[in-house]
A and B are shown apart, each in its own frame.
Chain A
Amino acid sequence: MRILFIKAALVSAMLATPLAHAATAIVSNEKDDTLSFIDLETLEVTDTVSVGQRPRGIILSKDKSRLYICASDSDTVQVMDLASRTIIATLPSGEDPEQFSLHPDDRRLYIANEDDALVTVVDTVSHEVLAQIEVGVEPEGMAVSPDGRWAVNTSETTSMLHWIDTETHELVDNTLVDQRPRHVEFTRDGSMLWASSEIGGTVSIIDVASREIVKKLNFQIRGIHPDKIQPVGVKLSADGRFAFVALGPANHVAVVDASSYEVLDYLLVGRRVWHMEFTPDQKYLLTTNGVSGDVSVVDIDKMKVIKSIKVGRYPWGVVTLE
């Protein structure tokens, strides 16, 4: 009996071990000025931490020890130490930072300043502004190519992708896409760029070498008016098989075959889905649902939504780490 008990205790202790180092998701809550920390084993919120005003875009440093937070209404990018979950620095981000992208050098942060029609480049080590580049009205999406050569910004009112040379920090080309481009995502090999157009209702797939649109995706969901299908977030699975497109007020995520560009399925998630992230093991996809104030968990093998997790008001960005 006693031995059994010890065995059981040992087993549960062994089971418990991964819990202590469980993977974590961090979600920014735009209208609560907080971050929610989700334990990815239990899929429950374990911590809520106050940050600057109107936190939107969030990204991790390469070593995942720090989190950068666009505190839009505080006009700053905050740096959080993830071990202590405290803000250790603020970066001069320019006004109203919304989304950003970290260069592969782990130093240069490219920040879209929504109110100022600028992209600000900040050195995360020296905290210096390296450059400010004029772009179109309401810059939003930001992505740096895997080889570090390009920083691409979307401007919502101008409906363009702006190609910024990261060597010279000059704007060298523009690609006109459909109305209100929100998000850009490079493929892993850097050869293609996916760009969502929220009001246009499309996703453009752009050949990086020629910077021309090679394919435009359209979405149709039965019973939902086409005007309400508004692509925002785009995520590409690490194995290159799938692309997921968050369709905003259509409350669905489209599953796209990343090589044939065929739309395979639409998954019902929470209300007004915007941004997404994979768990580190690529088994699950998390979506931020602003209006319903929750995070949907998609099981990628089953292509099913298995849970929704209540977080703060208007969840916006999401990152995950081991």
Chain B
Amino acid sequence: MKSLNRLTLTACMALLPFSHTAGASTLEIQIAYLGFEADHGPVLSNILPEPADAGLRGAELGISDSNSTGRFLKHQYSLHSLSSPDSASLIAHAQTLYDQGLRLFVLKLNANQLRQIATQLPDDAVLINAGSSDNELRSNACIPGMLHTLPSRAMLTDALGQWLASRRWSRWLLLEGNQSEDKAYADSLQRSADRFGAKVIERKSWDYDTDLRRTAQKELPPFTQTREYDVVLVADERGDFGEYVPYNTWYPRPVAGTQGMSPVAWHKVVEAWGAAQLHSRFEKQADRWMNSLDYASWAGVRTFAEAVTQTRSTDPATLKAFILSPEFQLGAFKGRKLSYRPWSGQLRQPIPLVHPRALVSQSPQEGFLHPVTDLDTLGYDASESECQVQ
């Protein structure tokens, strides 16, 4: 252990970062990144589009962060990436990269694509999901061996549910869009309501087809005229109608969920615990703000790098065993060390609750206790999940 803690290098290494002169003793770590550029279809609110390269820029920052540690250890990281709107070419490229010898994959893909790649690649590939928040992947339809850095929908809605419980806003009006993701988010909110003692007084689907930019003031008040509620919760992942709900509700009540105050993996307004430095590195490189998908891909790359730093190995089995061991800890700017759930392979993490200009809170909330770690009060706990990652 002692030898692990201490590393010696020559002054010349320090002056020549990423030097190739180190020769045979340099450990080269190649990480694959595959990103699906989904077409979300036309939406009513298209004023502030999501960046097309979300995820990729996070993975790139993960590589440069890791190389800055790596140069002191003669570890050199590189990224082999492909971003595409075409599923087939992404899946084919995964095989190509595997055949070239790559074993470490960060995947910003949907659940179907993840499943296909997991089926196609041999078991020694280590796959990190940084693109799908599907609850099924963490509960009852797990992909054997897969790790997840993006929080599940259940983690997000539980984070929100705990906060609403702490505010004692227990009567929820639930509005959902017409996409399958919206239904999944709304189902997840329903689950959180049951867990934290809230009551969904009504669940309504948005199916109007008028242009809300002009008629929100007319359409939404009657749409939200129901029995009285404390808060309106919106399930509209792609941002179709949800942006128009705040200030247009029948009762003067706050709005949360996918719009209004949102539970997220990451946001510009998270600035404590050194996050300001992560933002400034990211913005220097990408010329935009870092979002949840960027964060998940960054955390994926950093997970591999942290395992390499600690084990001095590039053997995928060694790395994966270490990542899932109690010794693994990831410093990830959320105020505490992060680790992976040994059942579902989900990265445990605090969830910030944000509105566009400020951090409101961060869950888990005070008083939500757990025998192992309060982080496991968010999402599917061991007893609720059928997954066996190891």
Partner of A213, one of B2, B8, B17: B2
Chain A residue, CB-CB nearest to B336:
A227
In the assembled complex, how far is the CB of residue A129 from the closest CB belonging to chain B, in whole angstroms? 17
Chain A residue, CB-CB nearest to B350:
A227
Docked-complex contact A176 and B280, CB < 8 angstroms:
no
Report the stretch among B47-55, B64-72, B143-151, B176-184 that lies at the interface.
B64-72
Q: Per-position contact with B for A146-161: 1 when CB-CB < 8 Å, else 0? A: 0000000001111110
In the assembled complex, how far is the CB of residue A180 from the closest CB belonging to chain B, in whole angstroms? 5
Known contacts: A211-B6, A212-B2. The answer to whether A156 contacts B331 by CB under 8 A is yes
Please tell me if B20 contacts chain A, counting CB pairs below 8 Å: no
In the assembled complex, how far is the CB of residue A229 from the closest CB belonging to chain B, in whole angstroms? 10
* Distance A228 CA – B336 CA, assembled complex (angstroms): 7
Chain A residue, CB-CB nearest to B280:
A115
Please tell me if B46 contacts chain A, counting CB pairs below 8 Å: no
Chain A residue, CB-CB nearest to B333:
A157
Docked-complex contact B14 and A157, CB < 8 angstroms:
no
Partner of A200, one of B14, B337, B373: B337
Please tell me if A249 contacts chain B, counting CB pairs below 8 Å: yes
Please tell me if A185 contacts chain B, counting CB pairs below 8 Å: no
Chain B residue, CB-CB nearest to A204:
B5
User: From residue 129 to 171 of chain A, which have CB atoms closer than 8 A to chain B?
Assistant: 133-134, 136-138, 155-160, 162, 165, 168, 170-171
Please tell me if A175 contacts chain B, counting CB pairs below 8 Å: yes
* Distance A203 CA – B15 CA, assembled complex (angstroms): 29
For A171, list chain B residues within 8 Å (CB): 11, 14-15
Known contacts: A199-B336, A228-B336. The answer to whether A136 contacts B68 by CB under 8 A is yes
User: From residue 1 to 28 of chain B, which have CB atoms closer than 8 A to chain A?
Assistant: 2, 4-11, 14-15, 17
In the assembled complex, how far is the CB of residue A219 from the closest CB belonging to chain B, in whole angstroms? 14
For A133, list chain B residues within 8 Å (CB): 14
Chain B residue, CB-CB nearest to A226:
B373
Docked-complex contact B15 and A170, CB < 8 angstroms:
yes
Docked-complex contact B7 and A138, CB < 8 angstroms:
no
Chain A residue, CB-CB nearest to B329:
A179
For B72, list chain A residues within 8 Å (CB): 136, 158, 160, 162, 174
Docked-complex contact A212 and B65, CB < 8 angstroms:
no
* Distance A268 CA – B235 CA, assembled complex (angstroms): 43
Known contacts: A157-B331, A199-B336, A213-B2. The answer to whether A173 contacts B69 by CB under 8 A is no
The tally of residues in A whose CB lies under 8 Å from a CB in B reads 40
Please tell me if A39 contacts chain B, counting CB pairs below 8 Å: no
Chain A residue, CB-CB nearest to B70:
A158
* Distance A174 CA – B70 CA, assembled complex (angstroms): 12
User: From residue 264 to 310 of chain B, which have CB atoms closer than 8 A to chain A?
Assistant: 274, 277, 280-281, 309
For A134, list chain B residues within 8 Å (CB): 14-15, 17
Q: Per-position contact with A for B334-360: 1 when CB-CB < 8 Å, else 0? A: 011100000000000000000000000
Q: Per-position contact with A for B351-390: 1 when CB-CB < 8 Å, else 0? A: 0000000000000000000000111000000000000000
* Distance A172 CA – B10 CA, assembled complex (angstroms): 6
The tally of residues in B whose CB lies under 8 Å from a CB in A reads 31
Docked-complex contact A227 and B337, CB < 8 angstroms:
yes
For A115, list chain B residues within 8 Å (CB): 277, 280-281
Please tell me if A294 contacts chain B, counting CB pairs below 8 Å: no
In the assembled complex, how far is the CB of residue A123 from the closest CB belonging to chain B, in whole angstroms? 22
In the assembled complex, how far is the CB of residue B363 from the closest CB belonging to chain A, in whole angstroms? 14
* Distance A174 CA – B5 CA, assembled complex (angstroms): 9
For A117, list chain B residues within 8 Å (CB): 68
Docked-complex contact A156 and B336, CB < 8 angstroms:
no
* Distance A177 CA – B2 CA, assembled complex (angstroms): 11
For B374, list chain A residues within 8 Å (CB): 225
Please tell me if A33 contacts chain B, counting CB pairs below 8 Å: no
Please tell me if A75 contacts chain B, counting CB pairs below 8 Å: no
Q: Per-position contact with B for A237-268: 1 when CB-CB < 8 Å, else 0? A: 00000000000010000000000000000000
Docked-complex contact A156 and B14, CB < 8 angstroms:
no
* Distance A174 CA – B14 CA, assembled complex (angstroms): 10
Chain B residue, CB-CB nearest to A290:
B272
Partner of A138, one of B4, B274, B329: B274
Please tell me if A114 contacts chain B, counting CB pairs below 8 Å: yes
Partner of B335, one of A165, A172, A177, A249: A249
Partner of A180, one of B15, B274, B280, B281: B274
In the assembled complex, how far is the CB of residue A314 from the closest CB belonging to chain B, in whole angstroms? 10
Chain B residue, CB-CB nearest to A178:
B329
For A227, list chain B residues within 8 Å (CB): 336-337, 373, 375
* Distance A41 CA – B219 CA, assembled complex (angstroms): 67
Docked-complex contact A159 and B277, CB < 8 angstroms:
no
In the assembled complex, how far is the CB of residue A266 from the closest CB belonging to chain B, in whole angstroms? 19
Docked-complex contact B337 and A138, CB < 8 angstroms:
no
Q: Per-position contact with B for A68-111: 1 when CB-CB < 8 Å, else 0? A: 00000000000000000000000000000000000000000000
In the assembled complex, how far is the CB of residue B106 from the closest CB belonging to chain A, in whole angstroms? 18
In the assembled complex, how far is the CB of residue B374 from the closest CB belonging to chain A, in whole angstroms? 6
User: From residue 296 to 321 of chain A, which have CB atoms closer than 8 A to chain B?
Assistant: none
Q: Per-position contact with A for B198-221: 1 when CB-CB < 8 Å, else 0? A: 000000000000000000000000
* Distance A221 CA – B285 CA, assembled complex (angstroms): 41
A-B contact pairs, 23 of them (CB 8 A): A115-B277, A133-B14, A134-B14, A134-B17, A137-B281, A156-B331, A157-B65, A157-B277, A158-B69, A174-B9, A175-B5, A175-B6, A176-B5, A176-B309, A179-B330, A179-B331, A200-B337, A201-B337, A212-B2, A212-B5, A213-B6, A225-B373, A227-B375
* Shortest 8 CB-CB contacts between residues of A and residues of B: A171-B14, A227-B336, A179-B331, A170-B11, A158-B69, A199-B331, A137-B68, A199-B337
Q: Add 13 more A-B contacts to A137-B65, A159-B69, A174-B73 (CB < 8 A).
A: A114-B277, A134-B14, A137-B69, A156-B274, A156-B331, A176-B309, A179-B329, A180-B274, A199-B336, A212-B2, A212-B6, A213-B5, A227-B373
